Amino acid sequence: MLVMMLQLGRPGQSRFIDLEQWRSPALVGEISDTTLAIDLDEKKRLYADLGISEYWVIDVRAYRIFAFRLDEEGVYQECEISQVLPNLAIALFEKTMELLDTKTNTEAAILLSKQIQDL
């Protein structure tokens, strides 16, 4: 089950999940514009330590998604197909991101939704 619980603060403030109150989500995604190095290093280690099953980093500049699945040793391995969202190919999201050069957000979201329904 995909769960994202964040306590939102003012811009520039940290956001967090209170793991005493909420269970760990199965999938966490980071939208990366200027924080790619941190997202692929520090945050990746943090989420692995928390036991998050899948971690995705969405590189909005390069229209790329780095998707990782936690292995039995607690180490993330890059994956091409989600296990949390069964049989969903990561490449489908990358193709949708590329559409944003020529389509509106709404048009791209509708096309993605139709492709997911066809799975």
Residue 6: inside a domain, yes or no? no
Residue 7: inside a domain, yes or no? no
From 81, 74, 38, 32, select the one nearest 53 (Cα to Cα): 74
From 91, 89, 55, 86, select the one nearest 70 (Cα to Cα): 55
Residue 36: inside a domain, yes or no? yes
Using the predicted structure, report yes or no on whether residue 9 has a pLDDT greater than 60. no
Please tell me the pTM assigned to this model. 0.77
Residue 14: inside a domain, yes or no? no
Which range of residues forms the domain containing residue 101? Answer: 27-117
Q: Residue 20: which pLDDT band, with cuts at 50, 70 and 90?
A: confident
Residue 5: inside a domain, yes or no? no
pLDDT of the residue at 13: 60
Q: How many domains does the chain have?
A: 1
User: Average pLDDT in the 24-38 region?
Assistant: 91
Residue 59: inside a domain, yes or no? yes
Return d(Cα 17, Cα 23) in angstroms, integer: 9
Residue 21: inside a domain, yes or no? no
pLDDT of the residue at 36: 95
Residue 104: inside a domain, yes or no? yes
Q: Which two tokens stand for residue 36?
A: 């790619």
Using the predicted structure, report yes or no on whether residue 6 has a pLDDT greater than 60. no
Phi and psi at 40, nearest 5°, equal -85, -5
Is residue 17 within 8 Å of residue 6, measured between CB atoms? yes
Using the predicted structure, report yes or no on whether residue 15 has a pLDDT greater than 70. no
Helix axes 105-117, 90-99, angle to 10 degrees: 150
